[in-house]
Structure 1
Amino acid sequence: MGRMSAPVASSPPLTIRRAEQADLPEVVRLFAIPDEGNLKREDAGPPLPACYGEALARIADDPNNMLLVAVDGGQVVGAFQLTIIQYVAYMGGRVAMIENVIVEPEVRGRGVGEAMMRWAIDEARRRGCFRVQLTTNKVRERAHRFYERLGFVKSHEGMKLVL
C-alpha cells in the first residue's frame, strides 16, 4: 500500500514592496556584503547611522523614486532602487533606471533577482516608460549574463566621475 502524505504548508510567496524604515538594517547589511565589483562602503552598525533613514525618507517623498525590497517568509532577501526619469528629449518620454540591485547570497539562483527585475519592468510599463536601463560593474560577468537573459542589451558604455 502507498504512503499517504499530509499536505505541505506552503510559505507565502515572494513579495516586492517599498522599503520601510524597519527594513533598513537588513537592506544596509545586504549592501555591505563584499561581492564581485561591490565598491560600496556601508556602515551596518549597530547602531545604524541616521543617514540611511534620512535617505529613505527623501526617497519616500519622491513619487518617481523608490527603494524596494523582496521579502520571503518575512525576511528581506533582496533590494533595489527604481527611479523614473522624465525627459524633454524622446518626445517627453520617461525612462526607468534600476540601481543597487542586491540579493542575499544564500538565495541567489532561486528567482529572487528575476522577480525583482520583472516587477521593475512591469512598473516601468505601468508608468509609461519607453525604456528600462541599469548599470552594472564591468567585472560582474555573472550579473551581465543574468541581465542579458532578461532581455537587457549592452548598448552603451557608462562613465562615472567620483566626487
Structure 2
Amino acid sequence: MTALLNELHAHYNGAKLDPSSITRHLEDNLLSPESVLKIVVASDSGGEVVGLLAFTFLNSLVDPAPEKRLQCMIKELFVKESFRSAGTGRDLMNWVIAHAKTAGCARMDWHVKATNEAGIRFYRSFGAAPVADRASFRLMLR
C-alpha cells in the first residue's frame, strides 16, 4: 500500500516521498485506532495494492431522522495509473456503495476537481450528480 500512497502523493504534488515516511504515516495515522477513515483496497493477482478508497461515516447535524442521518463521505478514490479504465475504480465504488447502503446511509458525498472530466463522467455513471448549491473551500493553516 505504501507504493500506491506514494503514487497518490506524486499525482497531487508532482514528486514522490521517502517510502519510510509514508509507511510511518500509514501505521501511525491512517490505520491507527483513532483514525475515522476506513480504507478498502483492490489488489492485483500478485497481491499488489493497485487501488484504494478511503471513506468515513458521519451523522448529519441537520437531519436527525433515522432514515436520513447517517451519511458516507468519500475522502479519496485512487487507482494506479496502469489499472485505470480496467474496472478497479468501479469495483471500489460498488463496494463502498453496497457497504454504505448496508450500514443505513442515506447519501454519499465526495469532492472531485472541476477539471477532472473523466472522473466526473465516472461518478455520473453511478447516478451521482454535482450538488448545485455547494462549493468547496480550503483554508491553508501551514
- Give the TM-score band, short-chain normalised: 0.7 to 0.9
Q: Identity, % of aligned pairs?
A: 22
The answer to whether residue 126 in structure 2 is matched with residue 154 in structure 1 is: no
Q: CA deviation at 1:88?
A: 3.7
Q: CA deviation at 1:140?
A: 1.1
Q: Which has the higher contact order (CA 8 A, sep 6+)?
A: 1
SS across alignment from 1:31 = helix
**Alignment coverage as a number of residue pairs:** 134
Tell me which residue corresponds to 1:16: none
Tell me which residue corresponds to 2:20: 47
Q: Normalized against structure 2, the TM-score is what?
A: 0.82
The answer to whether residue 67 in structure 2 is matched with residue 90 in structure 1 is: no
Q: Which runs of 5+ in 1 are unaligned?
A: 1-22
Q: For the residues of structure 1 that align with 2:39 and 2:64, how far apart are their CA atoms?
A: 27
Q: For the residues of structure 2 that align with 1:152 and 1:57, how far apart are their CA atoms?
A: 29
Contact 1:30/1:102, CA 8 A, preserved across alignment: no
Contact 1:79/1:102, CA 8 A, preserved across alignment: yes
SS across alignment from 1:101 = strand
Q: Normalized against structure 1, the TM-score is what?
A: 0.72
Q: Which runs of 5+ in 2 are unaligned?
A: none
- Aligned pairs for 1:1-150 (under 5 A) are 23=1, 25-34=2-11, 38-39=12-13, 43=17, 45-49=18-22, 50-58=24-32, 60-62=33-35, 65-73=37-45, 74-92=47-65, 93-150=69-126
Q: Which has the larger radius of gyration?
A: 1
Q: For the residues of structure 1 that align with 2:114 and 2:15, how far apart are their CA atoms?
A: 18
Name the CA shift for 1:40/1:126 in 2 (closer, same or farther; >3 Å): farther
